[in-house]
Amino acid sequence: MSTELDVFVGNTTVLDEDVYQLWLDGHTVSDAVRIRMEAGALQECEANAEILHSDTMDQFRTFQMCERLLQSPSKVANQLLFQIPPHHQTMLIERYYEFDSVFAREVLGKKLSKGTKKDLDDISSKTGIALKCCRRQFDNFKHVFKVVEELKGPLVENIQRHFLLSDVLARDYAAIVFFANSRFETGKRKLQYLSFQDFAFCAGQLISYWTVGAVDNMMEDLNVDLEKEFLHDLKDLKVLVNDKDMLDQHKSLVCAQLRGKIKVFSEMEASFKNLSRALVNIASKLTHTKDFRDLFIDLVEKFVEPCRSDKWTIGDLRLFLKHYSSSVRMLEAFRHQVIWDRYMGVIQSCILKMYHD
């Protein structure tokens, strides 16, 4: 019996970015060869299909061997097994940790556990991303989560330091870790229109302003938990809707500011109390885990959807939120200005990000 033996090993590891991408995308060797041939690799290299096949094989094998190293990227630079030029090292790591936002959207908010891993074939068939590729991305999420879970200090920096990722990618990972940790509900049908980037933006806002680390970055443990004290203080905001005078005063202040400036003025005037009540209620209930997880669904159901049915434009909404949040300052009886600003700052930008079709 003769087995095929065909290996090419270089002193400096030869890598082809396109082949790497094919490998990352979870193609089999024969698929990859076909794709490369269609891309005209044969003409470019004056090679034949056989050479291309063994070349692809070799590269796939190399990547497979590198995979172990890529799981702890800090080792890539000082390992001795592969002599890889530095710019290639960065490329290898960055590409390995890149993910499809469609996939990330599916996994967002789910527990990064074995159970979810079993659902990957569903996600794979839904998104059209190869199962192998889904697994890699999922394992990366899980791996990053596990590593940063035990670290102190700012989340994004930790990810960057340990995984040597670019700033953008590290921020995306921070969002994933944050969602996995807080387990926000993102799967409801009403939330389907939101993309990963929308959520990542909101996560960034929440991390920057509401978490423990936002106040004190020397705290122990994962600092992506929201600050308990702050959530508790949010209950005080209830006065804004419970106190009738204050509500009326708030409404008239906002109306005075917006008169003639927005198209949907009458609708706004009519629904002001409902909208205000919705936002304040969301704030006051955030201490309960269940309500907290429903933050996004609540925002959509109670705020985004009413506005959308009244056909507010994004400009109208921006203006409204600006004055809605700022005119509170003029309410003399209101004493929770700091809490309010901290709350509304985040809510305002989240809503604006989420307000699209």
Partner 1 sequence: MPGKLKAKIVAGRHLPVMDRASDLTDAFVEVKFGNTTFKTDVYPKSLNPQWNSEWFKFEVDDEDLQDEPLQITVLDHDTYSANDAIGKVYIDIDPLLCSEAATVISGWLPIYDTIHGIRGEINVLVKVDLFNDLNRFRQSSCGVKFFCTTSIPRCYRAIMVHGFVEELVVNEDPEYQWIDRIRTPRASNEARQRLIFLMSGELQRKIGLKVLEMGGNAVVGYLQCFDLEGESGLVVRAIGTACTLEKISSTLLATATHPSNSSPSKDMKEPGFGEEAPGVPLSSGPPTPLRAQTFSSFSPSKSYSRQSSSSDTELSLTPKTVGHLCHFCMIPPSPFCVFQEYPFFTLTAFPPGFLLHVGGVVSARSVKLLDRIHNPDEPETRDAWWEEIRQEIKSHAKALGCHAVVGYSESTSICEEVCILSASGTAAILSSRFMQDGPLDTEHRLSRQPLCVFSTGSERVEGDMGSSASQQGVFFLLISAPFVCDSLKCCSTHPSIIHFTPFSFFLCYFLFSLSLCCVVVCMYLSAGFVTACAHISMCVCSCLSVFVSECLSIYVCVCVCACVCVRSCVCVYVCPAPSVDYSSFADRCSSWIEQLKLKAHTIRRGSVKTTSSMEKASPLPEGRSRSLRSNRSYSGSSVAVVKMTPLSFIPGAKIIKYLGIINMFFIRETTSLREEGGVSGFLHTFIAEVFAMVRAHVAALGGNAVVSYSMKECVFMENPNKNQAQCLINVSGDAVMFVRESELESTSVQTQSATAHTSNGAEGT
Which residues contact partner 1 by CB under 8 A?
Answer: 1-12, 14-16, 19, 41, 44-48, 51, 54-55, 57-58, 61-62, 64-65, 75, 78-83, 85-87
For the chain, the first-to-last Cα distance in angstroms comes to: 62
67 contacts 143 by C-beta, under 8 angstroms: no
Q: Output the smallest distance, CB 175 to partner 1, in A.
A: 29
Which H or E run contains 16? none
Which letter, b or e, does each residue of 268-278 get, where b requires 16 or more Cβ atoms within 10 Å of its Cβ? beebbeebbbb
Q: Which CB, 54 or 197, lies closer to partner 1?
A: 54
Three-point CA angle 65, 134, 178, nearest 5°: 105
Q: Which amino acid makes up residue 135?
A: R
Q: Which helix (H) or strand (E) holds 164?
A: none
Q: Which is nearer to partner 1, 73 or 204 (CB)?
A: 73
Q: Which is nearer to partner 1, 12 or 266 (CB)?
A: 12
Output the smallest distance, CB 70 to partner 1, in A. 14
Question: How many whole angstroms separate alpha carbon 190 and alpha carbon 335?
Answer: 36
- Give, in order, the Cα–Cα distances in Å from 82 to each of 86, 95, 136, 185, 331: 11, 18, 22, 43, 66
Q: In terms of CB distance, is 2 or 118 closer to partner 1?
A: 2
Question: What number of CA atoms fall less than 13 Å from residue 106's CA on the CB side?
Answer: 20
In this complex, which beta carbon is closest to partner 1, that of residue 82 or of residue 141?
82
179-182 long-range CB contacts below 8 Å, 24 or more apart? 179/108, 179/109, 179/203, 180/109, 180/110, 180/111, 180/112, 180/141, 180/145, 181/145, 181/149, 181/222, 181/224, 181/225, 182/109, 182/224, 182/225, 182/226, 182/292, 182/293
Smallest separation, CB 82 to partner 1 (Å): 7
Nearest CB to partner 1, comparing residues 11 and 216: 11
* Element counts in the chain: helices (H) and strands (E): 23, 0
Cβ at position 348, least distance to partner 1 in Å = 46
- Residue 79 vs 127, nearer CB to partner 1: 79
214 contacts 207 by C-beta, under 8 angstroms:
yes
State the minimum distance, in angstroms, from the CB of residue 61 to partner 1: 5
Dihedral class, residue 110 (left if φ above 0, else alpha if ψ from -120 to 50, else beta): beta
Nearer to partner 1, 60 or 272 (CB): 60
Of residues 62 and 327, the one with the C-beta less far from partner 1: 62
